[in-house]
Chain A
């Protein structure tokens, strides 16, 4: 039994208001009886339509819930997706303004940039290789508009798959030149190794995750166009971040991506050594 359209609208508006106010709301699953994944995508559509109405543009998609561990945690057996918009992109090596985020966590991923449309269903990993212009190391800074990250699949899908902002590394690599399944990841936080992973953690291969997305979008009649950016899913567990932290991800055969975090002042500036020193001085203040 699908949720009433009025309820879909109300839930989407609640998420939009929380996004605008940088605040959180109680989990939807307890308040909207019978809410299922289809309802959740309709709520996401309402939430994102409101954001597009204030001038955000769709630049790509993100795939979430791609690892076995996370799927088991929230009780599902397939990934989910959300939209990437123009206001989410942060340049490689810059500082993210923590004041625009609520409860951020970092994920290191492999990003795909398409050179051809991918029209599912029927898309295979081979089609993804053919249609991909390049892959890059990236950070997705996920964020939740749900109280304390207390999410099940319906909550995160409705909340645009918990997307916050993302950072694409400058290095671009042709996917024909790298074994994406065996690409190793090392993340360093403030100069110390803090997480590692490998491409196979994402649906056996990040290519499988992108093929899943193409087929899912095809079934829903949603476009998947040349030029779009796809964040294919986290290679390592989530990393909580705070003021003063800087992260760098190295992905074997692909390249690096770095990002810093600060409240207010230094946000948007490049992470020069001087900026790092200032952020460090004010960290914990």
Chain B
């Protein structure tokens, strides 16, 4: 564990890189002792800093939820990050790319919780019971590291490459759809660029929330009622540039679109 002063220094560096935005050297190269827990300690400090600035926490996100990404990073559980209210854009909006370095988009399922969830081992049923509704989401990722090259502690400190996210399409009650088999087709400027089934996320996106709640429990916390949870990209992450239009169609959940300016 790095000392408090070092963690503060890293936090300031990440906050500046995100706000500018600009890239920074991989954190573990500068701070070889940085581990996963340090990464989350940086996230906690980022959150405190952003709350001080008057920003609001709106939810949490899971990342590295596909088997391919987990194997690539050598991990067996997702990484988690925080979502601020002012990073949620309405569907159909135009997202300015000047505020982004090298954005990529992923399609996924968002959960909106109605009840608080806590404990070491909540079941899928408990997750579904505590869910208000599920909805299509597009996450706009933007690593603050060159070419999205990072290791686990660095990406966690960078809040899981979180930049912005969009929710829209048709909300569904979680019990009224089979969340293992929602087909998703992503088109970039009219051409199919990515496809997936919602089960690409750990077999069922509610498993992301199960693991999130267990992880929160280990830190003495719960998942608050009203939280939005992004359960992790089901599709590959696709690079976008100014004037690109992205649309994702979901089986029985409508579609969601966003453009880049």
> Could you tell me if A200 and B195 are in contact, using CB atoms closer than 8 angstroms?
yes
Q: Which of A170-187 contact B (CB under 8 A)?
A: 179, 181-186
Docked Cα-Cα span, A182 to B186, in Å, equals 11
Contacts of A204 in B (CB 8 A): 192
Closest residue of chain B to A192 (Cβ to Cβ) is: B203
Q: Which of B5-13, B149-157, B225-233, B248-256 forms part of the interface with chain A? A: B248-256
Docked Cα-Cα span, A75 to B235, in Å, equals 26
> Could you tell me if B203 and A184 are in contact, using CB atoms closer than 8 angstroms?
no
> Could you tell me if A184 and B249 are in contact, using CB atoms closer than 8 angstroms?
no
> Could you tell me if B198 and A184 are in contact, using CB atoms closer than 8 angstroms?
yes
**Residue from the set A181, A188, A196, A252 with the largest chain B CB neighbour count within 10 Å:** A196
Interface size on A, residues (CB 8 A): 21
Docked Cα-Cα span, A20 to B252, in Å, equals 46
> Could you tell me if A250 and B195 are in contact, using CB atoms closer than 8 angstroms?
no
Contact string against B for A residues 247-285, beta-carbon threshold 8 Å, 1 for contact and 0 otherwise: 000111100000000000000000000000000000000
A226 on interface, CB distance cutoff 8 Å:
no
> Could you tell me if A193 and B195 are in contact, using CB atoms closer than 8 angstroms?
no
- CB within 8 Å for A182 and B203 given contacts A198-B183, A198-B195, A198-B196: no
Contacts of A185 in B (CB 8 A): 181, 183, 197, 199
Among B180, B197, B202, B252, the residue within 8 A (CB) of A198 is B197
Q: Which of A187-236 contact B (CB under 8 A)?
A: 188, 192-193, 196-201, 204
B166 on interface, CB distance cutoff 8 Å:
no
Contacts of B125 in A (CB 8 A): none
> Could you tell me if A252 and B181 are in contact, using CB atoms closer than 8 angstroms?
yes
Contacts of A179 in B (CB 8 A): 183, 251-252
Contacts of A192 in B (CB 8 A): 203
Docked Cα-Cα span, A200 to B255, in Å, equals 15
- CB within 8 Å for A184 and B184 given contacts A193-B67, A196-B196: yes
> Could you tell me if A186 and B192 are in contact, using CB atoms closer than 8 angstroms?
no
> Could you tell me if A251 and B181 are in contact, using CB atoms closer than 8 angstroms?
yes
- CB within 8 Å for A186 and B183 given contacts A252-B251, A253-B251: no
- CB within 8 Å for A188 and B203 given contacts A196-B197, A250-B181: yes
Contact string against A for B residues 45-81, beta-carbon threshold 8 Å, 1 for contact and 0 otherwise: 0000000000000000000000100000000000000
Among B181, B182, B195, B251, the residue within 8 A (CB) of A201 is B195
Contact string against A for B residues 167-185, beta-carbon threshold 8 Å, 1 for contact and 0 otherwise: 0000000000010111111
B200 on interface, CB distance cutoff 8 Å:
yes
> Could you tell me if B192 and A252 are in contact, using CB atoms closer than 8 angstroms?
no
Docked Cα-Cα span, A194 to B198, in Å, equals 13
> Could you tell me if A184 and B192 are in contact, using CB atoms closer than 8 angstroms?
no
- CB within 8 Å for A182 and B181 given contacts A192-B203, A196-B200, A201-B195: no
- CB within 8 Å for A183 and B185 given contacts A192-B203, A200-B195: no
Among A184, A186, A250, the residue within 8 A (CB) of B251 is A184
Closest residue of chain A to B187 (Cβ to Cβ) is: A200
> Could you tell me if A186 and B181 are in contact, using CB atoms closer than 8 angstroms?
yes
Cβ distance B4 to chain A, nearest Cβ, rounded Å? 41
- CB within 8 Å for A182 and B180 given contacts A196-B197, A201-B195: no
Among B183, B202, B249, the residue within 8 A (CB) of A252 is B183
Closest residue of chain B to A194 (Cβ to Cβ) is: B67
> Could you tell me if B199 and A182 are in contact, using CB atoms closer than 8 angstroms?
no
> Could you tell me if A193 and B182 are in contact, using CB atoms closer than 8 angstroms?
no
Docked Cα-Cα span, A180 to B67, in Å, equals 26
> Could you tell me if B185 and A182 are in contact, using CB atoms closer than 8 angstroms?
yes
Complex A-B: 12 CB contacts under 8 Å: A179-B251, A182-B251, A184-B183, A184-B198, A185-B199, A193-B199, A196-B197, A196-B199, A198-B183, A200-B183, A252-B197, A253-B181
Give B contacts to A, CB under 8 Å: 67, 178, 180-185, 192, 195-200, 202-203, 234, 249-252
11 other A-B residue contacts (CB within 8 Å) besides A179-B183, A182-B185, A186-B181: A179-B252, A181-B185, A182-B183, A184-B182, A184-B196, A184-B197, A188-B203, A193-B203, A196-B197, A198-B197, A200-B195
4 pairs of A and B residues whose beta carbons are closest in the complex: A186-B199, A184-B197, A252-B181, A184-B183
